[in-house]
A and B are shown apart, each in its own frame.
Chain A
Amino acid sequence: MNHKRYKKLIVLSLYDELTVREKEQLDRHLAACHECRSEIASLKGLHHVLGQVAPAVEPEQMLEAARRQFREALRNDEQPGESWQEKLIALIWPNGKLVLGGAIAAALGVAIGFILFHPAERALPVHPAVISSATGSESDIRISNVRFLQSNPATGDVDFVFDAVKSVHLQGNIEDMQIQKVLTHAMLNEENPGVRLKSVSAMASRPSADAQVKRALIAALKDDKNAAVRLEALRGLSAYQYDQEIQSTLLFTLMHDQNPGLRIAAINQLDSASVSGRTIGKDALKVLRDKMQHDDNNYIRLRAKAVVQEISQ
């Protein structure tokens, strides 16, 4: 066996990756070879230096943030077919064209707006949700967020994307499906937490027949960064019929929400469900028992204990 091979065995020996036979061979060789003894000393020095530092431990919040981001991506991935934005545009302007491209039509800026092309004289179809729409020329369009994809100064070719926003005024009743869809989108995607809160409050005022709305409330409860929005979403869900999906969501909040107010609200909802005669399954009991022993918050521990005792009677 040559030195090159022994030097490789030395690297592996420091990670305890040698077979018994290899270890014996190496030990015999080291006893007789000064060069390899120097090599192992040098590598031990490297390990010593590397041992003075370590990769930073990712805080739990970072993992939670990654989870939230993934859940949002999953929601966007689950919506095939023509988007509701495209359906709404087609409803309002049946022959409208999107002059600035489908990608821009799908992007909503900070305000809720749509890209549209509207011949000035065309009469709008009557629809309960729309009392007026923005009209006018492309000069009314607000351009922002220009992103270059490619740029070749030699040929003059450019390829870029930008957001173009035009205001639309919608007025109607919360029970209108199109209104619900706009508010659902706002609830999940608006950057301003005040707008998200108002959207959730509006949606929470009465339960919707649209399953997507319920799912959006669940998503807001699980993923919104703002505790007030999450609390409002939880209140909104209390108006829906208690089922396995809602119970799972309440348990999720109880297990993962960093805000004690939310965890308390989740326990209270579970308690209300139990008092109303709903079945609280073994999973829920398990979580409540865990909380009664391990939650950081004393009140939550006491509350969880009280609910467990109630359910167990």
Chain B
Amino acid sequence: MAPSDRELIDNARKGDMRAFEQLVYRYDKRVFGIAARFVTSSDDAKDIYQEVFLRVYNGLRRFESKSEFSTWLYRITMNVCLTYHSQRKHHSQWTGSGGLGNGDSEEGSGRIEAVSNDPSPEQHAADREVASRVEQALEILSPKQKMVFTLRHYQGYKLREIASMMKCTEGTVKRYLFSATQRMREQLADVLESYA
């Protein structure tokens, strides 16, 4: 039977790196998925991944098990994603560069892709255009709006789970979702017309 999170944490605290690795691998795919949806480059996603698990490694002794390990882990992930975003924005303001990493590219970074089964070149081109527009619309959202929207819409987390991860009320998460939805609709108004 697989060891519980509690057992792995206890062993990791005693210096058992294998236990720590097992704990990491149990959740890291999800963490990486959250990071990858939030930023526009795979290098940024890897940096976030690294920062999250370094914080877990350094903070494991202080983790008190009042909440589930996964809740604690996802909270760290949220904080790192949101901090990363504001640091990148500050850096780009200081260096005078226009935007955030690849996010200001008109072409998008390829983080959103078409899912159509139609193989025709025309459909493929149209889908690529939609994908690019959706990516741009997501980049215009505030970090918390984007986080809530991608977690709810693309990753299927329930609002109460997102609230737990972000350490805020469900009401707050709902407000972010409403605002994000409105902004997405505004940004994609012309695309919506062509699909109507």
Residues of A within 8 A of B (CB): 7-8, 11-12, 15, 17, 42-43, 45-46, 48-56, 58, 62-63, 65-67, 69-70, 73-74, 77, 150, 248
Contacts and interface: CB of A to CB of B under 8 A. Distances in A.
A62 B127 contact: no
A49 B152 CA distance: 16
A53 B115 contact: yes
Given A55-B37, A70-B49, A45 B114 contact: no
B97 interface: no
B56 to A, nearest CB: 10
Interface of A is mostly: helix
Interface of B: 18, 24-25, 28-29, 32-33, 36-37, 42, 45-46, 49-50, 53-54, 57-58, 94, 110-116, 127, 130-131, 134, 150, 152-154, 158-159, 174, 177-178, 181, 184-185, 188, 191-192, 195-196
A54 to B, nearest CB: 5
B49 to A, nearest CB: 4
Contacts of A248: 18
Contacts of A150: 94
B150 A48 contact: no
Contact of A42 (B24, B32, B185): B185
A45 B112 contact: no
Given A46-B184, A65-B42, 20 more contacts: A8-B174, A11-B181, A12-B159, A42-B192, A46-B188, A49-B134, A49-B188, A53-B114, A53-B130, A54-B154, A55-B37, A58-B32, A58-B45, A62-B32, A62-B42, A66-B32, A67-B24, A70-B50, A73-B50, A248-B18
A54 B112 contact: yes
Contact of B54 (A7, A50, A77): A77
Given A8-B178, A11-B177, A43-B181, A52 B54 contact: no
A56 B132 CA distance: 12
- A-B residue pairs, 6 tightest by C-beta: A66-B49, A66-B46, A53-B131, A56-B113, A70-B50, A45-B192
Given A17-B159, A55-B37, A55-B150, A73 B54 contact: yes
Given A56-B111, A58-B42, A70 B195 contact: no
A67 B23 CA distance: 13
A15 B123 CA distance: 28
A17 B181 CA distance: 15
A53 B28 contact: no
A55 B109 CA distance: 11
Nearest to B160: A17
A65 B50 CA distance: 11
17 contacts: A11-B181, A15-B152, A43-B181, A43-B185, A46-B181, A46-B185, A52-B114, A52-B115, A52-B130, A53-B114, A53-B127, A53-B130, A53-B134, A54-B154, A55-B113, A58-B32, A58-B33
Contacts of B196: 45
A74 B37 CA distance: 24
Q: Which of A43, A53, A74 counts the most chain B CB atoms within 10 A? A: A53
B153 A50 contact: yes
B111 A55 contact: yes
A69 B54 CA distance: 11
B32 A63 contact: yes
B60 to A, nearest CB: 12
Nearest to A52: B130
A150 B116 CA distance: 47
A156 to B, nearest CB: 18
Contacts of B181: 11, 43, 46
